[in-house]
Amino acid sequence: MKYFFPDSQDTVDPSFDFEKETRSIERVRHRDDQYAHEVFSEPAFDGLLVSKGIVDGYGNTGSRYTLAQRHRLYREGVRSFFRVDNRNLSIMGDCGAFTYVREPEPPYTVEQVIDFYVECGFDHGISVDHVIFNYQPKWDTAGFFEDVEAADARRRQEITLSLAAEFMAYHRKHKLAFEPMGAAQGWSPRSYAHSVLELQKIGYEYIALGGMVALKTKDILACLRAMSEIRHPKTRLHLLGVTRTDHLEDFANLGVWSFDSTSPLRQAFKDDKDNYYSPERTYTAIRIPQVNANPALMKRISSGQVSQDQAKKLERLALEAIKQYDSGAWELEKALDALVEYDNFCDPRKDMREIYREVLTEQPWKHCGCDVCCKLGYHVILFRGAERNRRRGFHNVWVFYRRVQDRIDRLAAKQADSVGR
């Protein structure tokens, strides 16, 4: 099973000095900053997923790319742009249907999307689709068209299938190099199975399942089981935005060949507690916010609730505390006192002492062999600034990929053992 890492232009600056918190004045972001695959000496994923909606932007969803970056992507192609020419990474493209989900119809034509795939040199390209966010198996029963939302879901599915047929016809007519992938949308096991059946009739052998991000695992499995009844043995499935690693064996047995997700990256700085991955569990990152860069703290300072001088003093002490503890110069309780004092100063509603005690006692970064942890040391566990937070996210992706590989290896061994018997 292959893991594709979705692009959102997340990079890190290799010149950043974590002690001084400065960077090279000669740094040019698009030239010098590194993507996740450049940070690691070993693979952290099998491929990249790049969305037209992320590149070009649409409506209220602005592009993650500057105008110069967009021009360079179209001019150089995805492999050169992401500097993966010498790496064994596949690159998949999609429309980014989430950017136009509120529109009555997709804003892109089939030809526009195919031009994007061809000009940029993708390995796989997903047909134009229209997301269905509702999961309502009851809509399969009588009275379907009496419900406005149900009728809209059916309309979106019909649009998606019609565009998939047009997409395949264009691909065949022009004998294009990238592998076409059909997009399947549905609102129930039965409707997803219908989509897959129709896409197979069109000629697709690789099908991307959209609209499943918010579904419960049991509902995803129900849909996959329904698809398995009509799925051809050679048909491969891709789960868009879905991980659920606890069920990889079930997914694999039901035809899932690949998936994508940004969850490991995002949890590093979006989650309240699960910020740092280890092979067995997750840890909470230690919060040491920057006085001059944390909006909530700056607001309290400007309103006179807290003293800026006191904030800076406690911030420096907290940074010194974890540095001295990591080196063995300070005892655990002394370091905790300094960290918790600053934490309470910033957010008196929470008591993080026992959580931080666990993190500092186990020091998981010292047991990790990834390039990020080996280079950063304790800085990787600090919830502080984009350079640390994003690198922790890259670390999570690296660990997540190894979790996936471990489960796949165990599944393969299990299958080999059953064949041997």
* Pair 132, 145: CB distance under 8 Å: no
| Bridge partners of residue 91, in order along the sequence | 48
For the segment 250-265, the average pLDDT, to the nearest whole number, is 96
Q: Which of 10, 94, 129, 326 is catalytic?
A: 94
The answer to whether residue 121 scores a pLDDT higher than 70 is yes
Gap between the Cα atoms of 134 and 404, Å rounded? 29
In order of their start, the domains of the chain are 46-261 (3.20.20.105), 272-399 (no CATH)
The pLDDT of residue 30 is above 90: no
Q: Which of 88-92, 150-154, 254-258, 416-420 has the lowest mean pLDDT?
A: 416-420
Under the banding of pLDDT at 50, 70 and 90, the label for residue 410 is confident
Classify residue 386 by burial, with Cβ atoms within 10 Å: 0-12, 13-18, 19+. middle
Q: How confident is the model at residue 358 (pLDDT cuts 50, 70, 90)?
A: very high
Distance (Å, whole) CA 134 – CA 136:
6
86: nearest Cα among 143, 37, 15 = 37
Mean pLDDT of the chain: 94
Q: 360-402 pLDDT, tens per residue? A: 999 999 999 999 999 999 999 999 999 999 999 999 999 999 9
Q: Are the beta carbons of 127 and 73 closer than 8 angstroms?
A: no
Cα-based distances in Å from 211 to 105, 119, 143, 156, 233:
16, 27, 23, 11, 23
Burial of 75 (0-12, 13-18, 19+ CB in 10 A): exposed
Phi/psi at 19 (5° precision):
-80, -45
Q: What is the pTM of this model?
A: 0.94
The model's confidence at residue 421, banded by pLDDT at 50, 70 and 90, is: low
Instruction: Grade residue 141 by pLDDT with cuts at 50, 70 and 90.
Output: confident
260 is catalytic: yes
Q: Determine which one of 33, 56, 129, 260 is catalytic.
A: 260
C-beta neighbour count of 413 within 10 angstroms:
10
Q: What are the DSSP E strand ranges found in 337-383?
A: 382-383
Confidence label for 87 from pLDDT (cuts 50, 70 and 90): confident
Q: Are 129 and 210 in contact (CB under 8 A)?
A: yes
pLDDT tens digits along 11-20: 999 999 999 9
Which among 228, 153, 149 is positioned nearest to 189, based on CA atoms? Answer: 228
In which band, very low, low, confident or very high, does the pLDDT at 420 lie, cut at 50, 70 and 90? low
Q: What is the pLDDT of residue 145?
A: 57
Q: Is residue 343 among the annotated active site residues?
A: no
Q: Which helix (H) or strand (E) holds 286?
A: strand 286-287
Separation CA 319–CA 150 (nearest Å): 55
- pLDDT tens track for 281-310: 999 999 999 999 888 899 989 999 889 999
Lowest mean pLDDT among 70-79, 268-277, 392-401, 402-411: 402-411
Task: Encode pLDDT of 313-356 as tens digits.
Answer: 999 999 999 999 999 999 999 999 999 999 999 988 889 999 99
Does residue 273 have a pLDDT over 80?
yes
